[in-house]
Structure 1
Amino acid sequence: MVVIKALDFTVKIDELQKHQLVAKTYSDEISSNQVLLKVDKFSFTSNNITYGIVGERMSYWKFFPTQSGYGIIPAWGFASVIISNHPDVKVGQRFYGYYPMSTHLLVTIDHVSSKGFVDKTEHRQGLPPIYNFYTNTEHDPNFTPETENLISIFRPLFITSFLIDDHLAAQDFYQATQLIVTSASSKTAQAVACLLAHRKKEDGLRFNLLGLTSNKNVAFVKQLGWYDQTMSYDEISHLNASEKSIVVDFTGNYQTQFQLQTLLNGNLVYNCLVGLVDWQNLTGENPLPQKGKLFFAPTYAEKRQKEWGAAKFHQNTGMAWQQFIDAIQPIISIEEHSGTEGLEQLYLDTLNGKIDPRHGNIVRLNKRGD
């Protein structure tokens, strides 16, 4: 029997600043239809912090259970099969998907095809299907080795961005003439802005796309070229409050929400809540005038897949993805973080908002060649 040493990076559910490394082992004697994957790499962005903040409410802790009081934040990346007890999944195959912040993942294979498989491990039953599918890179039309880091960083975020853009267009933008995107430098906001700017140009639409960001990121957001206007949070009072407005909120900051809601008042026609980048400032003394509506991408994705069919859904997202990847590739530089020390520092920096939006962060817990 061969023993494989593994590590999980776990965080304290009610105190995210605290984390623990948990050592465990696997063997090559796995059950029928099980496969052991070695996690090659995964991305880490502010989106992963959102997973942690709403982990209990949105069931993110259920994907990769660990010791009591702790959770494993999910991440998107690539893994290779090192042991297989399924006839249609071969050692050496690589899969893109939803992984723990760990060195390994044991899955139970179901609905396998050339495109990939579904993990039907018992504790994952009842969770959103979009998170349980693993894509075979050999048969992924949007995969190239040259862009796999960008795929890891942007693809999961991009689907959310695509669905937000699609939803707004389907609702005729709620007749708004001003679209305000908070945390405009964040990765998901970048993709939203790119898609909205493209749609605006192609369809001859008339709305002002405005990015709100911190003072230190104003120059970067302006350089993106997708926002018609860029402002810092300090300048919110200078917004045109007479325009019917949509807010797409990735920050979750209570004070920002309070200012926007109070200023725009009845002209805030849709308050779309997406992310919690500023997780340390989610509450305030007074109740907010409007609650806003949480945009949960998996639910909207299922709706669109039923309406369009799976093939059309993948075709539409694939075309939009290629358009975005061509635009973002020259803008983002890849930063690799190796081993547990690299992950620990990146995790704390992201948690504390110390990330340069020009960088895309990739983690390798396993050493190359292991």
Structure 2
Amino acid sequence: MTDTPAPRHLPNRLDNPLRSTILSWESLLIIVAVVIFIINSFASPYFLNAYSLSDLTFNFTEKALIALAMALLIIAGEIDLSVAAIIALASTLMGFALQFGADTPMLVAIGVGTGIVCGAFNGFLVTGLKLPSIVVTIGTMSLFRGISFIILGDQSYKGYPASFAWFGQGYVYWVISFELVLFLVMAVLYYVLLHRTNFGRRVYAIGNNDIAAQFSGVRVARTKFILFCLTGVMSGIAAVLLTARLGSTRPSIAEGFELEAITMVVLGGVSILGGAGSILGVVLAALIVGLVTFGLGLLNVPGIVMTIFTGSLLIVVIALPILFRQWRNRRPA
């Protein structure tokens, strides 16, 4: 009788949590953020200043708040292109109410409430009528901003009270703005919601295979409806912050916000096809986008160049994973 050789154990590099952490997308984003921070510090003598760094946070927090909710929506396999238009409509309705003497609590309630209603409207069209979310939100993007132009035309609303302006211009402590604190709190809440609750697991399941999730007992339509409402809520909050920071309302407010929010989400490692992504990645991506745009602003780079950069970055981060998978599949076994 011959001894049977013991089977060899083939080590799996993913068994090492330290290695998998080092090789993660979030670790790469941290390195990129540090490199951009160093470049900015050498490129402009005004960058390494406490008040300049505080201004940096105003540069991305409003869009990043939207990106937190957008991340969950994209992980679930849907998208909302109307977020900037929701901001415009919410801001317009707040300004309209201001003309009739609405106080700060009422203005905040109108802004957030408008976001909820718009998000619920998008959710109903997608989950109730089974329409594609990209088509629906392109339509509501024009609808919501069109209503703002009908109400305001080429005019603007001004004269917001100082107590309302604090939401967009106030500081909690020294140079730590209220917007930054709110964003960090929301980031923690969304992290817990996505990564530590059954709701988050349902979001991942829907994004990977919504039919299988449906047969597993997941209420797919209700979950997606909630996600659209959350995106509307965050758009309403962003409308309050942006309107308070600018101190005025115009129908063209927040143009391009949807592009930057989606860029933050995809750059953060969220798969545009759904089913994968993390809140930590989105937070780091928001910081990177803020660092880049703020650094370019300190160098007096025109806004159109920043738009070109954002669009190019979105194309690159979507194309790279696809190209990498194609290259890996071509490699010999």
TM range (shorter): under 0.3
TM-score of the superposed pair, with normalisation by structure 2: 0.28
TM-score of the superposed pair, with normalisation by structure 1: 0.26
Larger proportion of strand: 1
Question: RCO higher in 1 or 2 (8 Å CA, sep ≥ 6)?
Answer: 2
Larger proportion of helix: 2
